[in-house]
Chains A and B, each alone.
Chain A
């Protein structure tokens, strides 16, 4: 009997070790880079020579690039959070009825629809970005924009919202569809047989029962929007170095001028050699992502490629 117990322990230890490896790898990956936040002598010297940051040198040579003192950081965070919230709102308003339709209605060629949305989840971000560029900057949509005197690409709104919406919607849709799939259609049938209209049956029965899944989908869509990088980079680029005159008064008023999408800013800062600052932004994103994924695990979010 004791042999059996040892056997069981060895089995558990074996499987724990694989999960432990992933856990430690991930932890090491993120935590070991904390020292990147500290400014090294070599970095200071390089900055003296290249003189990239001219006026800001005093701030930049502080711990973590002194990011909390920099309006660029706060403007970027403001821009990203507000944009992702708008994206999530649009994705929910459009995505919840779509998920309901995909889950309940008998749609012809349903498998094509499902393959389309599922493959979006595994499509490279650069492809999404290129598709957006080509869709909006050539052909009829381009003519339309010219007629309106208004550009989608390289704009804060709606450019960034469109770029982050594509994948955020696809991920949210998978979770919302899973939420509606988990509610027995029988409830709705009974509600309707009692004389309730389809809208009322949805509002009073299906929606309350699917609520936790729908909330999980909203968090998932928001997390995905926050994690968006390639589509925004391709479709909108960076705004940091644009002159102040290029931004409207309203954009300045809501503190979004000369600001970037945070993950694009990480890339831009590290690429320009401002490593401490870039990593500081990266840690902010890790913190946000970590909290939302923890919440999703706690409420047991579900969603699938179907």
Chain B
């Protein structure tokens, strides 16, 4: 378990502003944000490479802000894994245990257990230079987990892997986290990756944590336009709300909401339905402007009074130029107060 409170610091062009974050024992948190948001810097502050100007970090209830890196008991897997090239896989994994001067038999047991848990028996005596990306990743994980850290920090652990391996490794990460019941913080910039592994997601931008929540919380109630865009809600409009409906240009969408005045309206493309007949609430008629096949679905750009992106099943008979009716369910419309 780790608690970060009021962490603020400046580091050259990177700065962290008032970071508050709690990750419970056995929880998997993904920190998500664009490049330059300060995610890696946050990790480096937690590891102890830099000392924060203010704020505190507690691991398992113990204050570690003033401690040296080696006293914090935090596992760290950097982006390039940094496996010690002069030691073989087994020695890499036992490195932290040897540092703690454990009896050799105990070290052997822990390393064997870790190696079988990670399914890397076959590379035990190899040098890290000759390992594939996925193998390196497992060894780095094993090395960090062998010492049973209070929290494990993973800095973009999957970005060095190729696309197919990435999904597999993401599931693997999840499995390992469950099997050791560890507290994981996983930094990445890819929404799909985060949704694959995490219990909760923290969205970060410009050195601040903007929103923390489960996947569905973030998708359904994004804190602001940035979050809405980041979780791939493609249909985002500026509108005016009067409490019972929102007006985007000429179009009026019925939606009970608590805001009045300028608002941002976000509609996820997978929430828009295609219906046979018009006349219902929030049904608009539009022309199919273009159609794009994707692996699991089809993307249709519909030109109604407002341009909308709609996702529908792969098999459909729409052609470009067809007229279709689309329905926007009232409960799926997201209204965010426009802060500008």
Contact = CB atoms under 8 A, between A and B. Distances in A.
Q: Do A and B interact directly, with beta carbons closer than 8 Å? A: yes
Interface stretch (A59-67, A184-192, A216-224): A184-192
A196 B82 CA distance: 15
Given A186-B80, A191-B95, A193-B75, A208 B70 contact: no
Contact of B82 (A186, A195, A208): A186
A195 B48 contact: no
B84 A197 contact: no
Interface in B84-134: 84-87, 95-96, 99-100
B329 interface: no
A209 B86 contact: yes
A194 interface: yes
Please classify how large the interface on chain B is, using the bins under 10, 10 to 19, 20 to 34, 35 or more.
Answer: 20 to 34
Contacts of A191: 84, 95, 99
Interface in B9-51: 47-49
B73 A187 contact: no
A34 interface: no
Contact of A184 (B82, B95, B144): B82
A196 B91 CA distance: 14
B261 to A, nearest CB: 49
Interface string A160-200: 00000000000000000000000010110111111111101
B96 A196 contact: yes
Contacts of A209: 85-86
B268 interface: no
Please classify how large the interface on chain A is, using the bins under 10, 10 to 19, 20 to 34, 35 or more.
Answer: 10 to 19
Contact of A192 (B68, B75, B87, B147): B68
- Residue from A186, A192, A205 whose CB has the most chain B CB atoms within 10 Å: A192
Contact of B47 (A193, A204, A208): A193
B86 A197 contact: no
Nearest to A192: B69
A73 to B, nearest CB: 44
A195 B147 contact: yes
Contact of A197 (B49, B73, B99): B99
Given A191-B84, A205-B84, A186 B78 contact: yes
Nearest to A196: B99
Nearest to B95: A194
Nearest to B143: A194
Contacts of A200: 99
A169 to B, nearest CB: 27
Contacts of B100: 195
- Residue from A195, A196, A200 whose CB has the most chain B CB atoms within 10 Å: A195
A201 to B, nearest CB: 8
B208 interface: no
B185 to A, nearest CB: 13
Interface of B: 47-49, 68-76, 78, 80, 82, 84-87, 95-96, 99-100, 143-144, 147
Given A184-B82, A195-B99, 15 more contacts: A189-B82, A190-B76, A190-B78, A192-B48, A193-B75, A194-B70, A195-B71, A195-B73, A195-B100, A196-B70, A196-B95, A196-B96, A197-B70, A208-B86, A209-B85
7 smallest CB-CB distances across A and B, nearest first, come from A194-B96, A196-B99, A193-B76, A192-B69, A208-B86, A186-B82, A195-B99
